[in-house]
Amino acid sequence: MSERTTGARAALSMAGVYQRLQDVLGSRRFQRRLIREHVAPVAGTRMLDLGCGTGALIEHVPRDVAYHGFDPSERYIAAARQRWGDRGTFWCAGVGDPLPHGAGTFARATAIGVLHHLDDATAAQLAARAAEALTADGALVTYDPAITPATSRLARFVIERDRGMHVRRPDDYAALLAPRFAEVTVVAVAGHLRIPYTGCIITARRPR
Ligand SMILES: C[S@@+](CC[C@H](N)C(=O)[O-])C[C@H]1O[C@@H](n2cnc3c(N)ncnc32)[C@H](O)[C@@H]1O
């Protein structure tokens, strides 16, 4: 099992509930920063969002960047198409599925809050899918909750209750991407949400 989906967490499979929670936690502000400072998509290029959820990231993506996102949740993809269908292309799939025929290549790939939902084997599929989808000078940017030296007891308590059952240390996330990328850079973050929380941003370049 990779996700906790019982009790109150079951409500998070409803796109509206999930999105509202993200807003309250401050994820929207953080996603804006992620796009601006780390993803930095270039005008006229294409980006691929793996595990795009309800497609909320697109709000921060410049309009002259062609956004493509996929996620295995039919509910999330339906919500993404309804809210953002005029801004991007969405399809229902997991990282184990091949990209649609003719999907082309991408200058940027993102997987925001996804790796901690995946076991090591599925995370390896994500790395492979991103590497094969990217151009030679492209980059994958991931963000996930992480246990770091800055993780307080309260932050650990919050993180351990996440739906994702594979929260890791930053270096352990990086090790999942390293077989498919020659250059992997890790940045630990804290104080980025309105709750006690620690995480890490990884940028993976030079796909192989
Ligand atoms: C915490 S949500 C993040 C959603 C979105 N990236 C965001 O930032 O709002 C984790 C997402 O990972 C997706 N996911 C879980 N298993 C997956 C898989 N095997 N392949 C792709 N996405 C997956 C879930 O459906 C969910 O939308």
Question: What residue spans define the domains of the chain?
Answer: 7-207
**Over pLDDT 90: what percentage of the chain?**
81
Give the nearest ligand 1 atom to 19 CA.
9
In this prediction, residues 169-194 reach a mean pLDDT of: 96
- 7-207 folds as Rossmann fold (3.40.50)
Ligand 1 pocket, mutate which of 117, 120, 159, 165 (most atoms under 8 A from CB): 117
The pTM of this model reads: 0.92
In this prediction, residue 23 carries a pLDDT of: 81
In this prediction, residue 150 carries a pLDDT of: 95
How many A from CA of 93 to the centre of ligand 1? Answer: 10
Has residue 6 got a pLDDT over 70?
no
Query: For all residues of the chain together, what is the average pLDDT?
Result: 93
Give the nearest ligand 1 atom to 3 CA.
15
How many A from CA of 151 to the centre of ligand 1? Answer: 23
How many A from CA of 137 to the centre of ligand 1? Answer: 25
57 and 76 Cβ atoms separated by less than 8 Å: no
How many A from CA of 50 to the centre of ligand 1? Answer: 7
In this prediction, residues 105-121 reach a mean pLDDT of: 98
Has residue 199 got a pLDDT over 70?
yes
How many A from CA of 135 to the centre of ligand 1? Answer: 23
Q: What is the DSSP string of the chain?
A: --B--SGGGGGGGSHHHHHHHHHHHTHHHHHHHIIIIII-PPTT-EEEEET-TT-GGGGGS-TTSEEEEEES-HHHHHHHHHHHTTTEEEEE--TTSPPPTT---EEEEEEET-GGGS-HHHHHHHHHHHHHHEEEEEEEEEEEEB--TT--HHHHHHHHTSSBS--B-HHHHHHHHTTTEEEEEEEEEES-SSSS-EEEEEEEEEE-
**Over pLDDT 70: what percentage of the chain?**
92
Q: Which of 17-21, 24-28, 69-73, 121-125 has the lowest mean pLDDT?
A: 17-21
| Pocket of ligand 1, beta carbon within 6 A | 50-53, 56-57, 71-73, 76, 94-95, 112-114, 117-118, 122
3-7: long-range contacts (C-beta < 8 A, 24 or more apart)?
3/117, 3/163, 3/164, 3/165, 4/162, 4/163, 4/165, 5/163
Give the nearest ligand 1 atom to 72 CA.
25
More confident residue, 160 or 61: 61
Has residue 11 got a pLDDT over 90?
no
How many A from CA of 76 to the centre of ligand 1? Answer: 9
Give the nearest ligand 1 atom to 163 CA.
1
In this prediction, residue 7 carries a pLDDT of: 61
pLDDT of 26-52, one tens digit each?
A: 889 999 999 999 999 999 999 999 999
